[in-house]
Amino acid sequence: MTSPLDLTQRKNIYRSFQLVDASPDERFDRLSALAKSIFNVAVAAVTFVDEEISTFKSVHGTDLKMLPNNESLCAHAIASGEDSFVIKDLLANTQFKSMFLAQEPNNIRFYAGVPFQDIYGNKLGTLCILDSTPREFSYQELTDLKNLSYIVGEMLKATQTAMNDPLTGLLNRRGFTNLSERELELSSRTKCPMTIVVIDLNAFKPINDTYGHKVGDDLLQYFAIELTKATRKSDLICRMGGDEFVILLPNTNDKNIKFLSRLNKRLGEGVTIDGHDFYLEFSAGTVFISGFEKTLELSDLLVSADKAMYLEKKLLE
């Protein structure tokens, strides 16, 4: 069964790579083009499977960009739990013959997909091939497809190692900086507001000193889970280091930011680790961006939010 931390890591991996949207990704174009050529099929794609949507990040042979997971063979491939998923003839399969891909004008009859994994073992999507005629799929062909899918996974792992915090699965400082600068450019171009929040856990050092760093790490993972649940899919969440976190919330202003109250409510339920009950509290500093500012530097915004956070922390002492 997938653990809450696995789900948190999975969501933040999608956030860090900006995977689940309709824009193509040139990182995978060569592999999908190669798969289409090697297997001589109508369609080849690198597909990422989110909670609800399967997105073709690189596709050759169709104009389709995404499918709901109930119509996605790649979602079925991941849900199967197998290391490969092959349907020789969709129309001969009672489970899949009525699917969207099998109908006009798609007329897909054959599917083979191999899931790829990230550094945590999460299956994020598949390298898949589809054809308009039924076909057999040999052991050697399946091996070749597995090798190509493995390459996709290795590409993701390299990026993930550079951009994600290994303990919590959240963005690290580098990943947050890269994606936040894009968001700032978008805010300036579209005149959409956004918010940056810096969070620091209160009295966390005494917990490490009293109960040990293993308990401290477990609490940081717990906090990352609750933070992810309290925020939106579009928000960027970063562990800057230690017990300090930063969240960027696009399309928000000082009147509609609600995640802090949701987070406080979740943390108020407490957590038990190694037989001890913990109720985490935090201080937060917020900076609002209207989108109409002439020039903005992420470093300056973080300093302002950090100062506001420490002012709140002093008031609590």
| Cis, peptide link before residue 4, omega less than 30° from 0 | no
- Decide: 196 and 305 in contact? Cβ < 8 Å: yes
For residues 181-211, one letter each, b for 16 or more C-beta atoms within 10 angstroms of the residue's C-beta and e for the rest, the string is eebbeebbeeebbbbbbbbbbeebeebbeeb
201 contacts: CB under 8 Å, gap ≥ 6: 223, 243, 244, 280, 281, 282
The pTM of the full predicted model, rounded to 2 decimals, is: 0.72
In angstroms, the CA 168 to CA 180 distance is 19
CA 180 to chain centre: 15
Give the pLDDT confidence of 269-305 residue by residue, as tens digits.
999 999 999 999 999 999 999 888 877 899 999 999 9
Average pLDDT over residues 23-42: 87
Compute the mean pLDDT over every residue in the chain, rounded to the nearest whole number. 89
CB neighbours of residue 21 within 10 Å: 15
The pLDDT value recorded for residue 252 is: 87
Query: 173-316: which CATH architecture?
Result: 2-Layer Sandwich (3.30)
Q: Tell me, which fold does domain 4-163 have in CATH?
A: Beta-Lactamase (3.30.450)
Give the pLDDT confidence of 89-145 residue by residue, as tens digits.
999 999 999 999 999 999 999 999 999 998 878 899 999 999 999 999 999 999 999
The pLDDT value recorded for residue 15 is: 59
Average pLDDT over residues 188-199: 91
In the chain, CATH 3.30.70.270 covers: 173-316
Least confident of 150-159, 226-235, 247-256, 274-283: 247-256
In the chain, CATH 3.30.450.40 covers: 4-163
Residue whose pair of structure tokens reads 């300093």 in the numeric block = 303
Helical segments of the chain, H only: 4-17, 29-39, 73-79, 139-163, 173-190, 205-211, 213-230, 259-267, 298-316
CA nearest neighbour of 39 among 105, 135, 115, 117:
135
The pLDDT value recorded for residue 255 is: 61
- Decide: 305 and 246 in contact? Cβ < 8 Å: yes
In angstroms, the CA 94 to CA 78 distance is 19
